[in-house]
Each structure stands twice: as structure tokens, then as C-alpha cells.
């Protein structure tokens, strides 16, 4: 049986493209030759099945007052069970948690990630091996976002909060005994439209880094 890698994330896992000129199809989603999840599948080969579970707006544990169904905490159990058995769970969330409307500090978002990881660890989806989880701190939102079209809904505090996530995520991962990776150190390029979504080049950089990580862990 192939090794199942489940990628749980937000719009950067779903493949949202804020700049249609950067997408081969000119649409709002990078295609199967461009998204990091599909590239990871390509790099790892036929012994792996990389499963996409990306949703725009998804948070670690916060319920959005404007949109339904965006809390990963409420979704993680059925998600893991529907794809069992899981060999590796990759979680890359937190960007949406920094929105001003959630009023959550970097430390609180870190606790939210910890709570999500604990629920994943307790879900009986791991077959005959121990839970295997990689938490990725997303690249910090860039300053240009503050004058972009999404500034009004994201809020002025999200840039600073996003810079704090790696620190608090690493702390939670150490306490829980799971893997940690800081995408802010991987050269994952953002577009110059909203300064918070990966470019095609950014998707490729993330996929390459994760391919190396998977093959050495």
C-alpha cells in the first residue's frame, strides 16, 4: 500500500492564485502542475499518495463569524478517518488566525495549533504506527498587505502576529513531540497583489523542501 500523506491547510494548500498572470490557466487556482501538493506527489513518486485538504480561510481552531466550516479543529477527526490509514499528516495553518476579527495573539494561535495537533494524535487513523505529524509555520505576511485590497478584512495587526507563529509553533511541537518546519526560511515567494499567497515559484520551493524532508525522515 502507498504511504498516505495528508496535507491539511488553507488557501495556500488549496492553491489559490491572487495573480491570474502567474497561473498557467489564468484562473484563481494553480493547476495540477503548479500546486505544491501536486508537485510533492510528483517528486516523491508512486510509492506515496499525497492527499490535498486545503480550504481558503481555514483556521486552526477559531470559528469565523462571517463564514461557516473554517475551523480545522471541527474537521480534523472526520478528515483523518476518511483517509486512514495516515502515514504523515502535514498541517500548514495560522495565516487566517491572525485576522484582527479573531483578536488572537501569536501565543494564542500557537495554543490553537497545539490543540489541533493533540486532537489529530488522538484520532485512531494511524494504523499500526505512532502519530506522525509535521507542523509548518506559514511564511509571515509581508508589509505590502497593509495597502493591498485585502487589508480591510485582514486588519492591521496580522503582519506582526504572523511573524510570531514560528516561535510559538516550534514551542508547541517540542512539547508534543511532533515535527516542525518554518516555511519562512525556505524561500517561499509571495505575490505582489496581496503579499500573503504563494506564487508559482513559491509553490515549487515549498514542494522541493518538503520532498527532501519526507525522504530524510
Question: Which residue ranges form the domains of the chain, and what is each CATH number?
Answer: 3-215 (3.40.50.1110)
Question: Which grid coordinates are listed for 33?
Answer: 502542475
Number of C-beta neighbours around residue 211 at 10 A: 19
Going residue by residue through the chain (217 aa), what tens digit of pLDDT does each one get? 899 999 999 999 999 999 999 999 999 999 999 999 999 999 999 999 999 999 999 999 999 999 999 999 999 999 999 999 999 999 999 999 999 999 999 999 999 999 999 999 999 999 999 999 999 999 999 999 999 999 999 999 999 999 999 999 999 999 999 999 999 999 999 999 999 999 999 999 999 999 999 999 9
What are the beta bridge partners of residue 3? 48
Model pLDDT, residue 104: 98
Half-sphere exposure in the Cβ direction for 53 (13 Å, CA): 26
pTM: 0.97
Residues counted in the chain: 217
Distance, in Å, from the CA atom of 120 to the CA atom of 198, rounded to the nearest integer, reads: 26
Amino acid at each position: 500500500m502507498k504511504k498516505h500523506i495528508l496535507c491539511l491547510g488553507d488557501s495556500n494548500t488549496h492553491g489559490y492564485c491572487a495573480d491570474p498572470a502567474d497561473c498557467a490557466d489564468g484562473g484563481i487556482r494553480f493547476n495540477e502542475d503548479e500546486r505544491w501538493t501536486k508537485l510533492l506527489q510528483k517528486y516523491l513518486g508512486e510509492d506515496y499518495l499525497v492527499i490535498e485538504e486545503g480550504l481558503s480561510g481555514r483556521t486552526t481552531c477559531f470559528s469565523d463569524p462571517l463564514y461557516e466550516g473554517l475551523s480545522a479543529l471541527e474537521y480534523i477527526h472526520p478528515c483523518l478517518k476518511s483517509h486512514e490509514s495516515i502515514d504523515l499528516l502535514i498541517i500548514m495553518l495560522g495565516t487566517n488566525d491572525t485576522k484582527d476579527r479573531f483578536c488572537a495573539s501569536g501565543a494564542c494561535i500557537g495554543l490553537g495549533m497545539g490543540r489541533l495537533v493533540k486532537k489529530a494524535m488522538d484520532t485512531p487513523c494511524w494504523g499500526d504506527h505512532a502519530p506522525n505529524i509535521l507542523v509548518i509555520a506559514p511564511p509571515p505576511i509581508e508589509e505590502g498587505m497593509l495597502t493591498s485590497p485585502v487589508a480591510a478584512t485582514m486588519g492591521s495587526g496580522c503582519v506582526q502576529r504572523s511573524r510570531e507563529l514560528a516561535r510559538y509553533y516550534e514551542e508547541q511541537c517540542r512539547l508534543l513531540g511532533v515535527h516542525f518546519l518554518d516555511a519562512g526560511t525556505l524561500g517561499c515567494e509571495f505575490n505582489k497583489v496581496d503579499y500573503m499567497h504563494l506564487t508559482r515559484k513559491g509553490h515549487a520551493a515549498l514542494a522541493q523542501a518538503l520532498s527532501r524532508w519526507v525522504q530524510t525522515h
